[in-house]
């Protein structure tokens, strides 16, 4: 981390800690359209992103843009309600900054979610997929060396599958491909991704996951299929 980033992180954490108890062992990043989960928390404290020094603010609809501390049952969680993307004009350092904040506040586990397009033809909109592999197609990397082969912790994915069975909720597993956006993929690109073993595609998650892994966090990734990727159906 550069000296500039260290200073920015220190200033941001100082502001957050002065606003209340924003500690917790689990961090949660809520993707597009998934922010309603935060309404289920109790003992809630909130800070809008724009009130935190150096914090990137989302310009995308469906990303409320706030850091929330709250409880799920007896567990305290830290929630990023919204995220930023390359296609908004943000840099890689800005995209991973919220993950550094969560780690700085004490989070040891990261649950990262996203809205994704279904590439696997067996998937349906509304399906949840535990990410067990990822493909970085952004042309950028958090690390100067090779990226980790398995940044997602299998034990956490197994736990999600077990809970899904108890709730009679089918849980998929698969490979998530991250692109820069903002344009959606063409049918030809989707066919190529499917040939490469990709099950779902989106424009986030990849770099946040790598940064969390590099910081020593255990990571669980979940994609919500919001649509069929281009070319899956015989219609526009």
User: What does the domain layout of the chain look like in residue ranges?
Assistant: 1-107, 111-236
Does the pLDDT value for residue 236 go beyond 70?
no
What's the mean per-residue pLDDT of the chain?
A: 92
Radius of gyration of the chain (CA): 17
φ/ψ region of 205 (left if φ > 0, alpha if ψ in -120 to 50, else beta) reads: left
Pairing of strands 75-81, 66-72: antiparallel
CATH class of 111-236: alpha beta
- Crossing angle, helix 3-17 and helix 92-104, to 10 degrees? 50
Per residue in 48-66, pLDDT (tens digit) is 999 999 999 988 776 679 9
Q: What is the pTM of this model?
A: 0.94
Indicate the SS3 state at residue 214: helix
* Residue 63 pLDDT: 64
Alpha-carbon separation of residue 58 from 98, 160, 182 (angstroms): 12, 28, 14
* CATH code for the structural domain at 1-107: 3.40.50.1580
Tell me whether the CATH fold assigned to 1-107 matches the one assigned to 111-236.
yes
What residues have CB less than 8 Å from 59, skipping those under 6 apart? 84, 88
* Residue 59 pLDDT: 84
* Residue 2 pLDDT: 55
* Residue 231 pLDDT: 75
Mean local confidence (pLDDT), 123-133: 97
């Amino acid at each position: 981390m550069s000296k500039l980033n260290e200073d920015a992180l220190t200033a941001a954490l100082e502001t957050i800690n002065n606003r209340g108890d924003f500690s917790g062992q689990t961090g949660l990043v809520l993707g597009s359209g998934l922010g309603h989960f935060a309404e289920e928390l109790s003992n809630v404290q909130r800070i809008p992103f724009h009130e935190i020094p150096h914090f990137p603010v989302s310009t995308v609809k469906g990303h409320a843009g706030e850091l929330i501390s709250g409880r799920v049952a007896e567990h305290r969680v830290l929630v990023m309600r919204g995220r930023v993307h390359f296609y908004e004009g943000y840099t890689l350092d800005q995209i991973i900054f919220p993950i550094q904040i969560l780690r700085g506040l004490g989070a040891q586990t990261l649950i990262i979610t996203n809205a994704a397009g279904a590439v696997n033809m067996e998937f349906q909109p509304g399906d949840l997929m535990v990410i067990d592999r990822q493909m970085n197609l952004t042309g950028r990397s958090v690390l100067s060396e090779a990226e980790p082969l398995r940044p997602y912790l299998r034990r956490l994915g197994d736990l999600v599958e077990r809970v899904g069975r108890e709730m009679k909720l089918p849980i998929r597993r698969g490979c998530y491909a991250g692109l820069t956006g903002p344009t959606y993929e063409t049918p030809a690109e989707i066919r190529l991704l499917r040939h490469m073993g990709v099950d779902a595609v989106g424009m986030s998650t990849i770099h946040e996951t790598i940064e969390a892994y590099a910081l020593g966090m255990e990571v669980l990734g979940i994609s919500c299929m919001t649509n069929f990727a281009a070319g899956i159906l015989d219609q526009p």
